[in-house]
Structure formats: C-alpha cells, structure tokens
A and B are shown apart, each in its own frame.
Chain A
Amino acid sequence: MLRVQNISTYYGQICALDNVSLKIEENEAVSVIGANGAGKSTLLKTIIGELRPKSGDILLNGQSIIHEKTFKLVSRGMTLVPEGRHVFPLLSVWDNLILGGYTLPAKERQQRAEEVTEPFPILRDRKNQLAGLLSGGEQQMLAIARAMMTAPKLLLLDEPSMGLSPKLVLEVYDKITELHMQGTTILLVDQNAEMAIDFCSRGYVLMAGRLAGAGTKEELKQSEIVQRSYLG
C-alpha cells in the first residue's frame, strides 16, 4: 500500500532522515519506535507531504506522491493525526468533526460525524463544547475521530499517547485497535515503545534518522537493541 524508498529529509543543513525505507501492506498495523529526535515525526511529515525529502521516493498504491500536496493526499485515502492533536481549539467539537469531513459531499458530513463518534460517546456528550476546553485524552479522541471522517484507508498516528495518563493511553490504544479491526491500515509512531510494539504486527526502529532495525512484534520484543534502548 505504502512504499517509502530511500528517503532523506533535511531541515536546512541538518539531516533528519537518512536513507530510510519501509513498507506497509493493506490492513497491516506497523509501528515506528525511536527515542526523542530519532526522526519519527519527520518521517510521518515527509510521508504526508508537509516536508519534502531531498532524495528517495514515496509510493501510495504504486503511484509516487512525492510532489503531492498534503490536502490532496487526504482525498487519496491517507491522513495524519499529528503530534499534539492539533484540534481547532475555538471551534466546537462537532465543527471540528465536520471540518474533518471537508472533502465529503455536504449532505454526508453530519451522518458521518454520527458514525465516527459511535466509539467515542464522550465526544457526542460534548459536541457543542469548544474543543480547546476538552482534556488531553478527549482531544486525542477528537483528533482520531476527526481523521476518520473521510474513512482513510491509511491512518498515520503521531505520538497518540503523548501527555496522557496510563489509563487514558490504554483507552486510546483500545480505540485505535478497534479502528484497525474495522479495516484501517495504520502506521504508528510512539515514544511509548511497549504500547506501540504490542499494538502492531510489525515495526521499525529509528535511531538518529537511520533505520536501526525491523521485525515482527516478537522479533522486536526480543531484539537486544530494542530491549536495551526502549523496554528497559
């Protein structure tokens, strides 16, 4: 479904991603783990078109998307739930959802918002509240539900557990698992390596902008580098 081929991304002179390749097949859940500053978010931002790689290629369903604009990728079935949720704080919860369905025909938006909030009853209860007043966990739920408005085939998740209490982390991962079971392919990046590895069937390890390892859930759990660096 998604092929990342030898991409290198720079911030000015600084190399943030160095020759990184990975692939995700349909209906897979794949994780990328790594320490702070390893290049995880840069990788997702490069895939979604917010950053342009200096070299390499990215293929979505066989077609290069390296020059595609972010907003057009949403119509092609891929979206990102960014680090820090980025809900629109001064718009209501419901308006946030409706905007998530911007590319849908006008008539379908309300209906779709009802559908995506089914697993998130708290969002329905607070539909008229300003999104900025939700708790961190609720904002994360809203960001995920909002991304689901267009029913993306591939969902990129950047640090969904960041800043959440352990109980809320479990809750958020429960919801993501539910979405995955319903057929959404997921590429997940998280500093919480344990959760990320447990959730996905396969994963990659990024270190200082380079791929330091890859494997199935079991292989990663037993990998010395992962054990030493992330699982303790």
Chain B
Amino acid sequence: MFFDQLINGIVLGSIYALMAIGYTMVWNVLRFINFAHGEVYMGGAFVSLYLLLLDTPIWLAYLGGVLAGALLGYLMEKAVYMRMRNAPKLNLLIAAIGISIFLQNLAQYIWGATPERLTSPFLYKNIQIGDMMINQHYIFIIILTILVMMVLELFMNRTIMGKAVQAASQNISATQLMGINANKVISVTFAIGSAVGALAGILVGPVFLVYPTMGIFAGLKGFTASVMGGMGNIPGAMVAGLLLGIIESFAAGFISSGYRDAVAMVILLFILLVRPQGIFGKIIQQKV
C-alpha cells in the first residue's frame, strides 16, 4: 500500500513538476503567471491524439504534440503578450485567462468534449518488483521526467542561451546591453516551457484521458507547485511538484481521496506561512 501510493505520488508529482516548470520559466522572464499554460498541456495532448488518428507512428505523434505545444506557447507570446510588454501586469493576466478560455472552446469545437484515451505502448504492461506490480507507463512517465529535467539543467547551465535566460530573469534590460535580443530569449523560454507542459499533457493522456478542460486542474496544480518551490526557481519547481504529488497521493490513500486536494492546499498554506519565498526561493540582497 505504502509503495503503491509512493509510486502513484511520484507519477502525479512528475506531471505537476513538468507543469510547474512552464509557469516558473515564464515568470522568470516576464514576471507574470501565464494562466493559459494549462491549455498548452491540453493542446499538446490533442495534437498527439489527432496524429495517432491519422496513423502516425506513436513516437512521432508524441513528438508532434510536444512541438505543437512549443509552437502554441511561442505564438501566444508573439501574438498577444509581446504586444503588451509595457501594459500593466493585470492586463496580461486577463489576456492569459482570455486565451485559456478561447483555446478550451476552440478544442471543443474541433475535437468535441468527449474524453478520449491517448495510446501508449506501455499502458497495458506491468513490471513486477517484489510483490508489487507497477504499470510500465508509470515508469515511462518517471523516466521521461528525469530525462527532461536533466536536459533542462544542461540547457540552463551549460549553454549560452540558457545563461541568457537566467540573466533575463535577473535583469532583462541589462541583457540587451550584452547584445542579447531579449525578445528572442522570451520566445525561447515560452517555447521550452510550453514544450515541457505539452509533454506533461501527452504523458497523462493515456491515464487520465484527453478533453478540452483537462488543463484547468493540472494548470492549477502546476501553478501551486511553482509557488511552493519558490516562483522562478526551476529546481524548486521540480522538487515541489514531486512533493505535491506524493502528499496528494498519501492523503488520498491514507485519509480519503476526497480530501487529497485539501491536504495538499493546507500544506501549501503552511509552507507559505513559514517560508513566503517558497521552499527553494532565495532572497538575495544585492549590494549597491
């Protein structure tokens, strides 16, 4: 029972962590919460589903969904947020909510509201470890999440573009003085964050199904994890996502599945009371 719940929690937490990365990356460069991020998660899953209906090989369909997610995030930024650079942040927030509702309706118009199951090559296979049976798709989710985190870590700390993204999060006007096109950095950030969000949607598709409003709750949880980890802190978002998933899973398993969200939210409130900057958030005082 304990290990079952732990595995469930890690799987759920992986999805939250992937979602949280998108929120936190966008916050880093634009200092706003992209509330349409949940729709990137949904969009990626739907595109994969659609590609599978066209008899596309499964890996290509997954890849197509991820690329579509990246494109969706990129277009969102170019078409709307970029034009609102100097507008109050509240306007961006409302625009994000508008985009979110628009995309949900668009998905419903194109694909309908009936939940559909995405195919996974692993869904009906299990691995036996001791006396525990673990679904192979769960293992697939965990492995892919670890891979994505490793690639992101390498990108952020080993490439000049990754460093430019970090620099933009600390002082976007100074990046321009380095000859860096800040708009390009913002686009790259949106594309990467959205690709990761879309991947989360695709990975969830075979388990929790694909439907137009699937991004609402996942978005909320990803956002919660990003706040919990310290907004703007990518490793923090990853760890907090995992933690949130595990807490929820244990709450569902040992208390009642009806209380899982409540327990998670109480813990979030507690963390924010004790550490307002989040678990990994840093308050660095800059010398002048």
Contact = CB atoms under 8 A, between A and B. Distances in A.
Contacts of A84: 288
Contacts of A74: 176-179
Given A88-B167, A106-B160, A135 B177 contact: no
Contacts of A100: 178
A71 B160 contact: no
The residue among B160, B170, B179, B182 with the most chain A CB atoms within 10 A of its own CB is B179
A91 B284 CA distance: 12
Q: Is the interface of A mostly helix, strand, loop or mixed?
A: mixed
Nearest to A150: B179
Interface in A69-97: 69-72, 74-75, 79-80, 82, 84, 86-91, 95
Tell me if B's interface is mostly helix, strand, loop or mixed: helix
Nearest to B159: A106
A99 B287 contact: no
A89 B288 contact: no
Contacts of B170: 88-91
B171 interface: yes
Nearest to A162: B288
A82 B177 contact: yes
A132 B170 CA distance: 11
A87 B174 CA distance: 8
Contacts of B181: 69, 71
B180 interface: yes
Interface range on chain A (Cβ under 8 Å from partner): 35 or more
Nearest to B285: A132
Interface residues of B, number: 22
B160 A102 contact: yes
A162 to B, nearest CB: 9
Given A86-B171, A99-B178, A163 B288 contact: yes
B163 interface: yes
Contacts of A70: 176-177
Nearest to B180: A102
A98 B164 CA distance: 10
A84 B181 CA distance: 22
B173 interface: yes
Contacts of A69: 176, 181
A79 B167 CA distance: 17
Contacts of B166: 88, 90-91
Contacts of A134: 287
Contacts, number: 83
A163 to B, nearest CB: 6
Contact of B180 (A71, A86, A139, A163): A71
A8 B160 CA distance: 37
A139 B177 contact: no
A100 B284 CA distance: 22
Contact of A147 (B171, B177, B282): B177
A91 B181 CA distance: 19
A106 B170 CA distance: 23
Interface string A101-137: 0110010010000000000000000000010111110
A50 interface: yes
B286 interface: yes
A48 interface: yes
Contact of A82 (B167, B174, B288): B174
Nearest to A79: B177
A86 B174 contact: yes
A154 to B, nearest CB: 13
A103 B163 contact: no
Contacts of A86: 171, 173-174, 177
Contact of B287 (A48, A82, A88, A139): A139
B284 A102 contact: no
A82 to B, nearest CB: 7
B284 A132 contact: yes
A91 B288 contact: no
Contacts of B171: 86, 88
Contacts of B174: 82, 86-88
Interface string B148-179: 00000000000010011011001101111111
Contact of A71 (B167, B176, B282): B176
Given A88-B171, A91-B166, 4 more contacts: A74-B177, A86-B174, A91-B170, A132-B287
20 contacts: A71-B176, A71-B178, A74-B178, A79-B177, A88-B166, A88-B174, A98-B160, A98-B163, A99-B160, A99-B175, A99-B180, A100-B178, A102-B160, A102-B164, A103-B179, A106-B160, A109-B160, A132-B286, A133-B287, A139-B287
Sorted nearest first, the 10 A-B pairs with minimum C-beta distance are A74-B179, A103-B179, A86-B174, A70-B176, A88-B170, A88-B167, A71-B176, A102-B178, A89-B286, A132-B286
